[in-house]
Amino acid sequence: MAIPKPDLRTLRWLNNLTGWVSTDAYSTAWVALVPALENREQPAWPAALEYLRESQLPDGGWGEPTIYYAHERTITTLAALRALHTWQTNYNDQYRIERGLQALNRYAADLEREPHEPVGFELLLPMLRNTLSPFYGPQLPTDKWE
């Protein structure tokens, strides 16, 4: 059964939305994982990958740039790494991944000092860890995540 293509005219209203929610690296990483309908070997929205590339933080991770919260940065960085690893459509993606892995190790040291973890962290961390472990297992701070 063929999946119908959306009528882009009906989606134009999205361009006019205004509000309090802005783009974030975590949500964008999930969008970046979606393959294109016409070619499953390509991302549906390459602009999402470009956003991830441009929003990598100076410390090598991803997340909220103005507030440091190790739990949020850990999950966001893992999601961004998964998207970049899945596609690797840019020659610098491997360098970005390496910087992200280094940031994860720094964030892991701060996790136990934070009084709270976000809802779902205990579910998201193992899932993201398991998807990346076959490729980057020794570089992930799994001993600090236990």
Three-state DSSP class for residue 24: coil
Quote the radius of gyration of the chain (alpha carbons, Å).
17
Q: Tens place of pLDDT for every residue, the chain, 146 residues?
A: 555 555 555 555 556 656 655 679 999 999 999 999 999 999 999 999 999 999 999 999 999 999 999 999 999 999 999 999 999 999 999 999 999 999 999 999 999 999 998 999 999 999 999 999 999 999 999 999 98
* Cβ-Cβ contacts under 8 Å for 31 (sequence gap 6 or more): 45, 48
* Its pTM surpasses 0.75: yes
Token look-up 């006019």 returns: 16
pLDDT reported for residue 13: 56
Quote the CA–CA distance of 103 and 109 in Å, as a whole number.
10
